[in-house]
Every structure is written in structure tokens, then in C-alpha cells.
A and B are shown apart, each in its own frame.
Chain A
């Protein structure tokens, strides 16, 4: 049981390049999330999904896209990388969206856009 797995751990992009951050969970969780964490700031929700085929915008979705074709996978796509997207990205999952539900996080992807 690996939990939430994110790849890659580190990546440097040039402005305008595109990439996909991968996220997979093996806990059969319906709910998955993408957050970004800027230095000295709280985590901000980019996108979330309540199940396969269903995604919705979070607080800071501009510049990103997601898909959820299976319960296990929730990739985050950056189409035209910008310096403002330099951040640490965390994928997370939960069994439900009950207000007291625990989040399980992946180990993060540190992305630099130069």
C-alpha cells in the first residue's frame, strides 16, 4: 500500500513549456486534490475531483488543467509554464468529503519555471 504517489519530485521548466505532474493513489479514494504551496504561504487548492470523470476548479485554477479518467489517477497539466507557477505541488486524496475527513498527501513536486 503505497498511499499517494507523485512524480516527478523535481522539475525545471523553461517559460512556455508544458508538463504533466502525475498523481496516483491505491487506497480506492474517491476524492483527489491538487494544491500548490508557495514559500511562507498556506496551501491553495488548484483543482479537485469527487470521482472518476468529475473535476472542479479550486481557488487558483488558472494555467492548469486536470483529468480523472480512473479512480486511481489524477494528473495535473501545465500547458504554458510561467514563472508564477514556480511552487511546490501536492496531490492529496480522501475517502469522502465529510467535513472531518483526513487528507493523505503525496510527497510533493518542486517545480521551477525559469
Chain B
């Protein structure tokens, strides 16, 4: 299994749709999990951290399943402005800085 693997996408959805992305990770010792958003030709920006209990920020909900080693991101009521690439990022811990980025899933929200 690749270290961090995401849904390949792309996802094309109409405005108002609900869309979910999944991400799996191989290192069971991984400590922290994040979703970053990257607009076309721009830098990644933190969207949200993912906590064991699951967390919600407005229309966005992140879930972590440690037993199955996957993370999900749910976007409700999609907006045109949600169009971007969503990067799954996993911190494997240890003494050396170790963040592993997934390849990203491209989302296009259509009017």
C-alpha cells in the first residue's frame, strides 16, 4: 500500500451537491492527519485537522478511522468556490519531521 493514497478523481459535481473524499494511509503509527486545499497554481492551505472523534467546520466534516487507516472529508452544499484540489496529509511522527502528502483529489463544482 502506498504511504498515503487518495481517491484519484476528478470529481465533477453540481452546486449544492454533497461530495466525499477518502484517503488511506499505510503507517499505523501515524499521529496526525490533515486536509489541505490547493487552488490551481497556488500554495496549499490548511483546510482542517482531523481528530479521532471526527470534527466539523461549517459545511466540512472530517472523519478518522484508525482501525481501517482511512480519513474522509465530506463537503455539504457544494459551492463554486469549493473547486480546488484537496490534499490528504499524514504526519508519521518520529524525531525527524515527516509529513506525507497524498497526490490530491481535484474537485470541480459546476453551476
Contacts and interface: CB of A to CB of B under 8 A. Distances in A.
Are A and B part of the same complex? yes
B57 interface: no
A41 B8 CA distance: 11
Interface in A94-113: 97, 99-100, 102-103, 105-108, 110
A80 interface: no
Given A48-B97, A100-B91, A42 B43 contact: no
A99 B31 contact: yes
Contacts of A105: 43-45
Interface residues of A, number: 23
A88 to B, nearest CB: 8
A108 B40 CA distance: 12
A27 interface: no
B103 to A, nearest CB: 5
B101 A43 contact: yes
B28 interface: no
B42 A42 contact: no
Contacts of A43: 44, 87, 101
Contact of A40 (B41, B43, B44, B103): B103
Interface string B95-111: 01101111110000000
Which of A100, A102, A106, A110 counts the most chain B CB atoms within 10 A?
Answer: A100
Contact of A100 (B32, B42, B43): B32
A102 B46 contact: yes
A106 B43 CA distance: 6
Nearest to B95: A97
Contacts of B44: 43, 90, 103, 105
A33 B97 contact: yes
B43 A41 contact: no
Contacts of B93: 99
A31 B43 contact: no
Interface of A: 31, 33, 35, 40-45, 48, 50, 56, 90, 97, 99-100, 102-103, 105-108, 110
